[in-house]
Amino acid sequence: MAVITIFRQAGDGGRYIAEKVAQALGYNLFDYGTAGRILVQEGFATAPKVFKSATDFWDRFTRVGPERDEVHVMFRSLILATARNGNVVMLGRGCFAPLQGLSDVLNVRLKAPIPFRINRLKETRRLTTEEAAAHVAKTDALVADFARDSHGLSPDDINYFDLVINTDKVPLDAAARILVDAAGALSGNRSEKPSTATLEVDPVMAKDVADEFERIAHLRAETKR
C-alpha cells in the first residue's frame, strides 16, 4: 500500500502522468473533481447554483472569502482520510503538505520552464500564446497561494518533496514509469517512520472517501461492459 502525491504546474503534463501512474498501479486517482464531490457531500452544497460543478466549487473556495478557512480545514481532513484509505495517486493543491514524514508516501513535484508549458497548453487546449501565458500565470499564483495559505508550506521549497521531475527534460511516459518504480520500492519499505496507517482521520470523511472510490470503480466497470 502506498500513496503518491503530485504537485504540478499548469502545462507540465501532471494530469497525464497521474492518470498513467494510477492506471499502471491499479490505484485510485484523487483530483479536484473527487475532492469537490466529497466536500459537497460533506455539507458545502448549501447553494446549488454555486456548487453545480467541481470547477465552480474550486473557483469559489480557492479565492479569499469568509468560507475559505473552513474549506481549508475540511480539505486537510479529506487529504488525511484519502491517504489513510491507501493505494492512491493524489493530484491536487497542497496534498503533499499534511503527509510529510510518512514512510509510505511519495511526495512528487513536477516542474517545467514557462515557455515549455505555454507551448504545451497551446497544443493540448488550442489556446493562443497570450491565452496560454495568462492561464499559466494565473494558475501558478493560485495553486501556490492555496498551498501556502491552507498549509503554511511553499511548494517552491523542494525539501518538502521526495522527488522532483522536470517534464521538459523527462518525457511524460518516462516520468510515469519512474513513479511506478518508486511506488514499488516504497511498498517494500520497512522504515520505522510513521505510515499512513497511523493517521487519525474523521470516520465520516473516511467513509465518504471509500464510498466515492467504490462509486468510481462501479462506473468504470459498467463502462467496460
21 within 8 A of 4, measured Cβ to Cβ: yes
pLDDT attached to residue 155 = 83
3-class secondary-structure state, position 154: coil
Locate all alpha helices (DSSP H) within the chain, ordered by sequence: 14-25, 32-39, 54-61, 68-85, 114-125, 129-151, 172-187, 203-224
The more confident residue out of 127 and 188 is: 127
Q: Which residue has the cell 467504490?
A: 214
14 within 8 A of 110, measured Cβ to Cβ: yes
Question: What's the mean per-residue pLDDT of the chain?
Answer: 86
pLDDT attached to residue 36 = 84
Task: Dump pLDDT digits (tens) for 37-77.
Answer: 888 887 765 433 333 444 555 565 555 555 666 777 888 89
C-alpha distances in Å from residue 139, one per residue of 9, 31, 146, 168, 172: 8, 16, 10, 19, 20
Task: Dump pLDDT digits (tens) for 79-136.
Answer: 999 999 999 999 977 899 999 999 999 999 999 999 999 999 999 999 999 999 999 9
Q: Which domains does the chain have, with CATH numbers?
A: 3-224 (3.40.50.300)
Cα separation, 110 vs 198, in Å, equals 28
C-alpha distances in Å from residue 115, one per residue of 26, 111, 141: 33, 12, 17
**All cell numbers assigned to 115:** 515557455
Q: Which residues contact 115 (CB under 8 A, 6 or more apart)?
A: none
The more confident residue out of 52 and 184 is: 184
pLDDT attached to residue 57 = 57
3-class secondary-structure state, position 89: strand
Cβ atoms within 10 Å, residue 206: 18
What pTM was computed for the model?
A: 0.88
pLDDT attached to residue 7 = 94
Cβ atoms within 10 Å, residue 104: 21
pLDDT reading at 167 higher than 90: yes
